Structure 1
Amino acid sequence: MLKTISAAIALAVGVYITPIMAQDHAPPHLPGEYAQTYSDPLAPFNEKMFWFNLKLDHYILHPVAQGYAAIAPTPVRESVGRFFSNVSFIPRFANNLFQLRLPEAGDELARFGINSTLGVAGFFDVADQWFGLKEHPNDFGLTLGHYGVSPGTYIVWPFIGPSTVRDTIGYAADGAMWPLPYFVPWYVSIPAGAGKNVMEAVNYRSLHLNLFEDVDRYAVDLYGAVQDGYLQRRAADLRALNKGQQTPYPANR
């Protein structure tokens, strides 16, 4: 949820702004699914939601993450991030399976079993350290793309961040794989799911506190930079998966 806001800015910094800092000119666009100029018929709504999310990060998420980082050492927060990644394995496993990426699906299942036991609920990634089993990021938006569904209109959701019609459907499908609602009443599962999302977002943001350090200086159009970074990343993810490669951006959505 809120994690996606920070991740989107990180993508703008990594895909768009960092090359400008290094080369002093705009980087070439990645070839593939998206053109250099994107159709954005929902731009008025999207820009309002973009700035709402940015203010949410500036006034709430970032200060809370700063306070959290002040009391929790980096190794602890990194372990918490691994825990959240472990409990979110089902969409990765399922979507690798849907795309017939059977070795990757097997790795995900094995990683969950190993890290949930030997890795103390996933706080330690012993599956990678001891057995060389890597995480294989995937989601239902990429599954739809793998089977030929186009991205559709770009849209920015409040609290969630940038998306497309295809990725919105994928986000909902991945969310439906969260197992808790199938075992406990809604008045338990909804607060638990929301709490997980908020804690994961705060933890992620605490590990990226300097995210906006160079944004104001180098991004003349921050909205456009984030849109560009997001769409390029999703196109690159899909190309990599279709070639049987690891997705180049391990911070999934």
Structure 2
Amino acid sequence: MVLLPGRSMKRTRIYVPSVGPAAWQQFLAEPEKQWRTGYSAKTLAHCWEHADGLPLEIAAMFPAATELLFAIPEHKVPLLGGNRDSQNDVFALIRHGDQTCAATIEGKVNEPFGPTIGEWLSAPSDGKLARMRHICELLGFDQTPPPNIRYQLLHRTASALIEAKRFKTDEAAMLVHSFSTTKMWFDDFAAFASLFGSKAVPDVSAQIALDNGAKLRLGWATGNPAFLVI
């Protein structure tokens, strides 16, 4: 590789096509630790690459015929407060019918959703408090959600709304793509959905109209367990 004067080796906003599931590993926060058969990162990569478009269970989250315009693994979305972006397992730009959707996909097998809000704010820094205010503003909450709610679900959803605004899509979506055969941690997702007055049902999405006029789709999609052994 030839470096031009004044240019350094850093990531750019230019993306190249994937050459297969293994190409996803390099973007993980801990590539060697997280890339394991039966765990979400590797399972998700094989599922999405095999689909050559949207996996059927993700397409079923939308009311009309779908088309995957593009997908980016481990997509980082900056959030106010702190110095860590929200790193989404997949960001997908999706067309369904005559609508477009900016979707963040959270892959799961048996891994939990991380700390609750109560745990995350147990030692609140100015940065954390600023981030929580920013997320609440995006989601239309007038106060911090209950301490039992999983923080990860908040910032993944905030990421979808930020990207929907950036790409000027008709709606945002935060979809959990779970390969757990027992729907582990579904109750946490249902508790999060209830904040919007929505009753979560596996494999059925709900569209929510936020007070600021934004449209948000939430859903839990059950993945094919065949990808757990690849």
Q: Tell me which interval the TM-score lies in, with the shorter structure as reference length.
A: under 0.3
The TM-score with structure 2 as length reference comes to 0.27
Higher RCO (C-alpha 8 Å, min separation 6): 1
Higher helix share: 1
Greater strand percent: which structure? 2
Question: TM-score when scaled to structure 1?
Answer: 0.25
